[in-house]
Amino acid sequence: MSVLFADLVGFTPFAEERDAEDVRDTLTRYFELSSDVITRYGGTVEKFIGDAVMAVWGAPVAREDDAERAVRAGLELVDAVKSLGPTIQARAGVLTGEAAVTLGATNQGMVAGDLVNTAARLQSVAPPGAVLVGETTQRAASKAIAFEEVGEQLLKGKTTPVPAWRALRVVAERGGRNRAETLEAPFVGRDDELRLLKDLFHATARERRTRLVSIVGQAGLGKSRLAWELEKYLDGLADEVARHHGRSPAYGEGITFWALAEMVRGRAGIAESDDDRTSREKLATALAGDVPDEADRGWVAPRLGALLGIEEAPTGERAELFAAWRMLFEQVAARGPAVLIFEDLQWADAGLLDFIESMLEWSRAHPILIVTLARPELLDRRPTWGAGQRSFTSLHLEPLTGAAMAQLLTGLAPGLPDTLVQRIVARAEGVPLYAVETVRMLLDDAKLVAADGGYRLVGEVERLAVPETLHALIAARLDGLDTADRRLVQDAAVLGQTFTLDGLAILSGEPAEGLEPRLQALVRKELFVLNSDPRSPERGQYGFVQSLIREVAYAALARKERLARHLATARYFEAFGQDELAGMIASHYLAASEASPRGPEAEALAARARVALRDAAERATALHSHDQALGYLEQALRTTNDPAERAALEERAAEAAQAAGKYEIAERYLNEVIAWHRQQGDRIAAARATARLGTTLIELLRLEPAIAALEGALSDLSALESDPDVASFSAQLARAYVDHDDTGPALAWADRAIAAAERLDQVPVITDALITRGSAAWSQGRPRESRALFSGALALAERHELVASELRARSWLADLESLDDPTVAQELRKAGLELARRTGDRESVSVFTFDMIWETYQSGDWDGVLATIDALEEGELVFHQQEHLNDLLALIAAYRGDTATAQERLVMGKAHLAGVTHPTHVANYRAVVAEVALAEGRFEEAYAEATAAAVASPRLAHAASRLGARAAAWLGDGEHVREALDRMVAADRRGRWFDAGRRTVRAALASLTGEREAAIAGYLDGAALWRDAGWAVELGLCQLDFTRLIGPGEPTARAAADEAREIFTRLGAAPLLARLDAALGRAP
């Protein structure tokens, strides 16, 4: 059993300067803090005595590491107490031994005996801020905790002195796991940052919410050390924390998802040397424990296998891969908090950065703490890193103070002359690695020797020459090695931050058995480390102590030396035959090519580099890391001037750019490809590229040139009926025509696409073409046909697991149903939103979210709309939905009398349309302008804008004409009401929404032409339709029309006015209430 006693020091003067309530509050915080710390380490609070606390480990259940946990708790407690006040400190004593235990007597003297009394006495002689322990405790905890002997202590009530040790710091994980073979430098100057990390971890666990902590700092400032201190802390906690660690290697543009794959390998216990069969078996075993649901496991497994390069990537979107990878960590976090530490993120591929950000967005309801370590270059590559994220914390590490640097030096090497310490501190400029490397240099020169758990000065150092920069210091250390060892370090630098003994043997040309003793010597010189963590996929591998050492060693290589080494390394990795290594192989061939002098050899190497880069691009594409694929292909382009090869690479680069959403880049490459094929007279190849250009232009909303490009390309490809591209391009052209509100050609091309795709069994093309055909049929006034097409497409998508098509079908079907039965539409949207969130389809989440906001708007809950908008995460609405949201806010502002905000929103909306030729988007904006003008009383403007919107877009002709008719009716202009009604009839739209609109406009026309009874009947019928469907806003406006045009003398109009008043009051629509009062003849 282990017993801890702790009390406060300096509390009395603190209390004397404050009133009783402040003192009580501080003590309460102390008791809560003590309880939290002790409980986290698996202890039991036995009792509080004044400002002292007693805790025990080993009762009622004993564990072999109880003594270590008790000391860890003591160290944590004396550190945490500093937060209570500037003068308050704690001290603690820990003893381990036998004691009498009364089970179930917590807080009632559960533990008694000499052990308890001696622990209390030991605590009483501890200096402020210190933890003293007895001999048994020190022996039990010394593998993981550093101690210094403080001699025998004379304790009150003890007849003989008690030997004691002071606990200094935690230096390893539990039981000494992963303890450094050499002396670990003191952790100085980062206490606040470490405390913040601990607090964020506990907040993550408590609130069950994902957090991202981005630690950024120059090389050598202590990012990895800070993460190591956090890992040691987490390892000591009583509750298990699922920790995962991955590093991005420094190769070219980054290796696709390498750090994430490292985490999965570590979780499954897959060694990098395991073959595919063994890896699959280990992955299956791990998933059986981590993902309990069999269906989820079956979905996750192949996608994780693709990440590890042991399975072909399943078909689908990148969002599905990300969702599967996230599910693994979410399932792990369901059992307890999980921590993911990504090192060297400045070298990560863009896809990994996207994935981390996706976790913050889509896994936010899970207790996952993500910690990233990076140099400032990360922010150059991703300036928006963390922007707008609510659960994002940025830690920018600054250089250490001079005092902290001096503490670091003297803690590592007591006895260094003050003059030398000051020279080192002045040169170091606050970079702790500089100080550590200086001590290592002294060790290399035998001026320091290990002694008594530290280093002792034995040589003359007064005239020591201290290099001016950290790079120079590291270079000087490397120059001090003998030639063979220096070459060995440089060989390792080419292999990477970590490397195997076998890999180094092949590269150096020396037998492995002869290298191992030399590597061990370099470990002792603190240039390398040996990974002994049994949980790591890199167990048994060597690595550089610090990445900067590797960079300096590599920089010292001459071009010729780099050429030979990179070539040998590329061939070494090729021999494994693993897809996962494609990016690494490509980077080495490219580096060899760049190091080669001009000539045939350089050209041959460049050709081999291009092959490897294309393979790497294929691997990135399979994992939907399209930015990464584009980067590899652009690197390949820089290695060749051959026009034919460039054209082939540009075509693939265009595909990658389009998939990555970089449409302008895709357009540029496709134009170059088209020009090349035309120059060669290859009409078919030029047509294919032109068709792809057309699909790119659709995404850029340049519909006219897109349609022209696709029409021309398909004409040239007309003879290739069995070509899969023809069916796909035909479906894209049909979609472009629908977006252009040209439904006749849309239907024709959709039919052609379906017919061709049926012959070729292209289910995805058939599904999308059915949706396009349904939207075109709807525009032509055939909603029942549309419903059947959308429903059929939805069933097909569900059967074949076509997630993107399923989401598109649900969206269209919900839009259609919303005009007849909003309840059915709501259920479709809820299911779509759930699927989109599960698969991480951000665009679909945006669509469904806005559509549900629009439903809330129409139902009359405008305060609910604003509350929902306020609760949206930054960037949750993207693409056109953000523009639609802006329009919606303009309408609410206008109807509530906030003219300035409404006009400001309209200006923003106009800016969004810059360069857009999509007729529906332009018409929608003009319709919003018209409705704002109507709300503000500018009826002529409202009619003109609504009419322009109706003419511009057949899809909006009915809704915009109804708006124009209302403006004309409020002007008393029956002729314009009639014209608007004619456009509504011509639009031939079906459904309750459209029927209610036509009835309302016909009633308005009847009232203006003296057909009073017909008008009353029309308004009553229209209002009944609006009311039954729950469309409160339209109902209120209909009843306002009724009151204005029929007059308050009619009893049914008076009832309509009452209903309108209730609705407008609930909406807060003061201008509409004023118009209602005017219609009733009331004074404003």
Determine the average pLDDT of the residues in 325-350: 94
1072 pLDDT above the threshold of 90 = yes
Instruction: Find out whether 545 and 527 touch, Cβ atoms under 8 Å.
Output: yes
pTM of the model: 0.78
Segment 916-950, tens digit of pLDDT = 667 788 889 999 999 999 999 999 999 999 999 99
Instruction: Find out whether 893 and 905 touch, Cβ atoms under 8 Å.
Output: yes
Q: Which amino acid is at 271?
A: A
540 pLDDT above the threshold of 70 = no
Segment 749-790, tens digit of pLDDT = 999 999 999 999 999 999 999 999 999 998 888 889 999 999
Higher-scoring residue by pLDDT: 872, 532: 872
Instruction: Find out whether 770 and 729 touch, Cβ atoms under 8 Å.
Output: no
Q: Where are the domains of the chain?
A: 2-176, 191-396, 402-477, 481-557
C-alpha to C-alpha distance for 375 and 365, rounded to whole angstroms: 29
711 pLDDT above the threshold of 60 = yes
The secondary element (H helix, E strand) that includes residue 95 is: strand 89-96
Determine the average pLDDT of the residues in 437-461: 76
Mean pLDDT check: name the lowest of 366-380, 572-586, 799-813, 1001-1015.
572-586
Percent of the chain with pLDDT over 90: 59
**CA dihedral in degrees (614, 617, 618, 624; nearest 10)?**
-170
CA-based nearest residue to 36, from 53, 24, 21: 53
| Confidence at 140, pLDDT banded by 50, 70, 90 | very high
505 pLDDT above the threshold of 80 = yes
3-state secondary structure of 64: coil
Which pLDDT score is estimated for 252? 61
Determine the average pLDDT of the residues in 530-545: 73
Which pLDDT score is estimated for 1083? 43
| Confidence at 214, pLDDT banded by 50, 70, 90 | very high
Instruction: Find out whether 403 and 250 touch, Cβ atoms under 8 Å.
Output: no
Determine the average pLDDT of the residues in 844-852: 90
- Tell me the CB-side half-sphere exposure of residue 175, using CA atoms within 13 A: 5
Higher-scoring residue by pLDDT: 483, 254: 483
DSSP state of 955: G
DSSP character string of 714-764: HHHTTT-TT-HHHHHHHHHHHHHHHHTT-HHHHHHHHHHHHHHHHHHT-HH
Instruction: Find out whether 499 and 536 touch, Cβ atoms under 8 Å.
Output: no
CATH 3.30.70.1230 fits 2-176, yes or no: yes
Query: Domain 191-396 falls in which CATH fold?
Result: Rossmann fold (3.40.50)
875 pLDDT above the threshold of 60 = yes
659 pLDDT above the threshold of 60 = yes
Segment 967-979, tens digit of pLDDT = 999 999 999 999 9
Which pLDDT score is estimated for 874? 65
Higher-scoring residue by pLDDT: 158, 682: 682
Which pLDDT score is estimated for 537? 63
Burial of 969 by CB count in 10 Å (0-12 exposed, 13-18 middle, 19+ buried)?
buried
Mean pLDDT of the chain, nearest integer: 89
107 pLDDT above the threshold of 70 = no
| Confidence at 108, pLDDT banded by 50, 70, 90 | low
Which pLDDT score is estimated for 101? 67
Q: Give the largest Cα separation in the chain, rounded.
A: 116
Which pLDDT score is estimated for 100? 63
274 pLDDT above the threshold of 60 = yes
Which pLDDT score is estimated for 535? 61
| Confidence at 1084, pLDDT banded by 50, 70, 90 | very low
Which pLDDT score is estimated for 105? 52
Which pLDDT score is estimated for 251? 72
CATH class of 481-557: mainly alpha
Instruction: Find out whether 211 and 389 touch, Cβ atoms under 8 Å.
Output: no
Segment 585-636, tens digit of pLDDT = 888 999 898 888 888 888 898 999 999 999 999 999 888 888 889 999 999 9
| Confidence at 103, pLDDT banded by 50, 70, 90 | low
C-alpha to C-alpha distance for 58 and 65, rounded to whole angstroms: 9
